[in-house]
């Protein structure tokens, strides 16, 4: 197979961590007889510096022509970077919002996995963390409260703000189908999270999810109210496989799930459209204070590349090999500075990429 990948190195540590992800991809594809065509483009601050805009039309077209996009981190230090003296629509993050819209990315996937070797960093009680957890939060990315009509008006001498939460059947159905398809690649369980005891949009959400579930008899489905889900994430996270939810609930729950892992530097993410196309990136930021020092943790980006192999190219075996190599490196006691603990061996960004390649 030939993989056509557009790479957006981004800002800060982005070029360093993307370089390591590409190195790991090259290794696993060489081993399994695949070839890769990379096309590097600019976005964010790097694009502002060269083109005076955070995202060019040419970059969008290059991304659309690819099978997938692998991206590093976007942005810089908001207090010192000249990029943040620009109008909001000209700042680095505006490029990210624009490319999501241009590529039709409506499904955001954020895994939260507790590595046994990093269990001490988990803030939960040991009797809870000992069970481990491996969940994936699937968040609808383009609808709901964040994209509904909003306004602020004056009534009876005081200001009144109005935000509208809107979902259509088709918007719910497409994210539900993605959720069940991905559950089939995992442990075949979907927890659909809503607020159906209060909200009409959630009652429609639950109705459509049940309709989609009928086409997946091999996948277990349960419904959970969002407030209960927030409690269960810290009480018994091991119960979850795929958490399927709407935009605002997913925004909040995915941040909660990331924190119970104890290490954001390990967390990958993906944003998918209604084809196999996806944009894959680490969940963490650009960390400009450590850029160029070869000390960044590349594992989140490497695991994002594994997600790309799994969800865009259906190369589950190759994705498994990358994930197993990451686990083995951690088991062998190697750590970048952000996850270092006494008794382990501290390594830099490049060395961590080399170690993972050696174990593929």
Backbone angles phi, psi at 274, to 5 degrees: -85, 10
Backbone angles phi, psi at 76, to 5 degrees: -150, -155
Question: Across the chain, how many H-helices and E-strands are there?
Answer: 12, 14
CB 132 within 8 A of CB 327: no
Q: How far apart are CA 240 and CA 191, in angstroms?
A: 7
Q: Helices in 33-159 by DSSP H: which ranges?
A: 45-51, 57-65, 92-102, 126-129
Known catalytic residues are 146, 195, 227, 251, 255
Q: Helices in 126-279 by DSSP H: which ranges?
A: 126-129, 169-184, 200-213, 226-235, 247-261
Whose CA is closest to 119, among 130, 108, 106, 105?
Answer: 130
Token pair in block for residue 262: 């104890």
**Which residue is it, tokens 């046994």?**
116
């Amino acid at each position: 197979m030939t993989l056509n990948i557009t790479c957006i190195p981004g800002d800060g540590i982005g070029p360093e961590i993307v370089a390591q992800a590409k190195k790991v991809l090259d290794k696993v594809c060489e081993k399994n007889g695949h070839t890769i065509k990379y096309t590097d483009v600019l976005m964010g601050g790097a694009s502002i510096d060269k083109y005076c805009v955070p995202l060019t039309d040419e970059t969008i077209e290059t991304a659309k022509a690819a099978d997938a996009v692998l991206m590093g981190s976007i942005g810089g230090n908001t207090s010192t970077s000249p990029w943040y003296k620009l109008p909001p629509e000209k700042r680095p993050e505006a490029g990210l919002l624009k490319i999501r819209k241009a590529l039709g990315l409506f499904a955001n996937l954020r895994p939260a996995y507790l590595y046994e070797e990093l269990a001490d960093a988990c803030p939960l009680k040991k009797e809870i963390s000992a069970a481990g957890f491996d969940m994936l939060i699937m968040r609808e990315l383009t609808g709901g409260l964040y994209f509904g009509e909003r306004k602020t008006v004056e009534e009876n001498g005081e200001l009144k703000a109005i935000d509208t939460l809107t979902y259509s059947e088709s918007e719910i159905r497409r994210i539900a189908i993605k959720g069940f398809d991905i559950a089939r690649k995992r442990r075949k369980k979907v927890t659909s999270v809503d607020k159906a005891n209060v909200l009409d949009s959630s009652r429609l959400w639950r109705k459509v999810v049940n309709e989609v579930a009928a086409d997946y008899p091999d996948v277990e489905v349960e419904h959970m109210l969002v407030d209960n889900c927030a409690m269960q994430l810290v009480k018994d996270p091991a119960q979850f496989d795929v958490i399927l939810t709407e935009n605002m609930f997913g925004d909040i729950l995915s941040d909660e799930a990331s924190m119970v892992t104890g290490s954001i530097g390990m967390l990958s993410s993906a944003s998918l459209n209604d084809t196999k196309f996806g944009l894959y990136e680490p969940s963490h930021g650009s960390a400009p204070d450590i850029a160029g020092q070869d000390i960044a943790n590349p594992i989140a980006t490497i695991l994002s590349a594994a997600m790309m192999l799994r969800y865009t190219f259906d190369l589950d075996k190759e994705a498994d090999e990358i994930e197993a190599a990451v686990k083995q490196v951690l088991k062998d006691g190697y750590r970048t500075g952000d996850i270092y603990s006494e008794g382990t061996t501290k390594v830099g960004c490049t060395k961590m990429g080399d170690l993972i390649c050696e174990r593929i």
